[in-house]
Amino acid sequence: MPPTPTPPRGRFAPSPTGALHAGSLLAALGSWLFARHVGGEWHVRIEDIDPPREVAGAADAQLRALARLGLQPDGAVVRQSTRGALYAQALERLLDQGDAFVCHCSRSALAAHAGVHRRCVGGAPRRDPSIRLRVPQGTRVAFEDAIQGHVAEDVHAVTGDFVLRRADGYWAYQLAVVVDDAAQGMTGIVRGADLLGSTARQMVLQQRLGLPVPRYAHLPLLLDARGHKLSKSLDALPFDGTDPVAALAGAWLLLGQQPLAATTTDPRDWLVLASAAFEPGRIPRGPLAASHNTGDRDPP
Ligand code: GLU
CATH, residue 45: 3.40.50.620
By most ligand atoms within 8 Å of CB, the mutation choice from 66, 173, 218 for ligand 1 is 173
% of the chain at pLDDT higher than 70: 92
In this structure, the answer to whether residues 151 and 124 fall within a common structural domain is: yes
Position 263 confidence tier, pLDDT thresholds 50, 70, 90 = confident
In this structure, the answer to whether residues 76 and 109 fall within a common structural domain is: no
Burial (CB count within 10 angstroms: exposed 0-12, middle 13-18, buried 19+), residue 232:
exposed
Task: Find out whether the beta carbon of 15 lies less than 6 Å from any atom of ligand 1.
Answer: yes
**Single-letter code of the amino acid located at 237:** L
Q: Is the pLDDT of residue 292 over 70?
A: no
Helices 22-36 and 267-277 pack at an angle, to 10 degrees, of 60
Task: Find out whether the beta carbon of 26 lies less than 6 Å from any atom of ligand 1.
Answer: no
In this structure, the answer to whether residues 67 and 89 fall within a common structural domain is: no
Task: Find out whether the beta carbon of 194 lies less than 6 Å from any atom of ligand 1.
Answer: no
For residue 11, give the ligand 1 atom closest to its CA: 8
Domain harbouring 163, CATH code: 3.90.800.10
Cis ω for the linkage preceding 267 (within 30 of 0): no
Residue 170's CB is within 10 A of a number of other CB atoms, namely: 16
In this structure, the answer to whether residues 161 and 228 fall within a common structural domain is: no
In a domain, 295, yes or no: no
In a domain, 213, yes or no: no
- Predicted pLDDT at 207: 98
Asked if residues 83 and 46 have their Cβ atoms less than 8 Å apart, the reply is no
- Predicted pLDDT at 14: 97
Cα atoms found within 13 Å of the Cα of residue 48, Cβ hemisphere only: 19
Task: Find out whether the beta carbon of 18 lies less than 6 Å from any atom of ligand 1.
Answer: no
- Predicted pLDDT at 108: 87
Ligand 1 geometric centre to CA of 284 (Å) = 20
Last residue of a domain, one of 157, 175, 193: 175
In this structure, the answer to whether residues 53 and 109 fall within a common structural domain is: no
Query: Distance (Å, rounded) from C-alpha 160 to C-alpha 57?
Result: 35
In this structure, the answer to whether residues 225 and 280 fall within a common structural domain is: yes
Q: Is the pTM of this model over 0.85?
A: yes
pLDDT tens-digit map of 172-204: 999 999 999 999 999 999 999 999 999 999 999
Separation in Å, CA 300 to CA 152, 190, 254, 293:
21, 22, 17, 18
What burial letters (b/e) apply to 38-61, b meaning 16+ CB within 10 Å? eebbbbbbbbbbbeeebeeebbeb
Please enumerate in sequence order all residues whose Cβ is within 8 A of that of 296, keeping only pairs 6 or more positions apart, or say none: 256, 284
Look up the domain containing 41 and give its range: 13-81+220-289
In this structure, the answer to whether residues 119 and 171 fall within a common structural domain is: yes
Task: Find out whether the beta carbon of 191 lies less than 6 Å from any atom of ligand 1.
Answer: yes
By most ligand atoms within 8 Å of CB, the mutation choice from 9, 11, 15 for ligand 1 is 15
Please enumerate in sequence order all residues whose Cβ is within 8 A of that of 254, keeping only pairs 6 or more positions apart, or say none: 26, 220, 222, 288, 290, 293, 295
Q: Is the pLDDT of residue 293 over 70?
A: no
- Predicted pLDDT at 36: 97
Least-confidence region, from 32-46, 166-180, 200-214, 215-229: 215-229
In this structure, the answer to whether residues 75 and 90 fall within a common structural domain is: no
Last residue of a domain, one of 158, 175, 192: 175
pLDDT tens-digit map of 44-85: 999 999 999 999 999 999 999 999 999 999 999 999 999 999
In this structure, the answer to whether residues 77 and 113 fall within a common structural domain is: no
Q: Over the chain, what is the mean pLDDT?
A: 91
Cα atoms found within 13 Å of the Cα of residue 250, Cβ hemisphere only: 21
- Predicted pLDDT at 230: 67
Q: Per the structure, how many domains does the chain have?
A: 2
Cα angle 107-113-116, degrees, rounded to a multiple of 5: 70
For residue 194, give the ligand 1 atom closest to its CA: 10
In a domain, 116, yes or no: yes
Ligand 1 geometric centre to CA of 246 (Å) = 24
Query: Average pLDDT for residues 236-264, to the nearest whole number?
Result: 88
Ligand 1 geometric centre to CA of 110 (Å) = 26
Helices 173-183 and 84-96 pack at an angle, to 10 degrees, of 100
In this structure, the answer to whether residues 227 and 276 fall within a common structural domain is: yes
Position 107 confidence tier, pLDDT thresholds 50, 70, 90 = confident
Strands (E) located in 104-255: 130-133, 140-145, 149-154, 162-165, 188-192, 215-219, 222-223
In this structure, the answer to whether residues 76 and 90 fall within a common structural domain is: no
In a domain, 189, yes or no: no
Asked if residues 166 and 133 have their Cβ atoms less than 8 Å apart, the reply is no
In a domain, 184, yes or no: no
In a domain, 117, yes or no: yes
Ligand 1 geometric centre to CA of 261 (Å) = 32
Q: Is the pLDDT of residue 102 over 80?
A: yes
Separation in Å, CA 292 to CA 46, 49, 252, 256, 296:
30, 34, 14, 13, 10
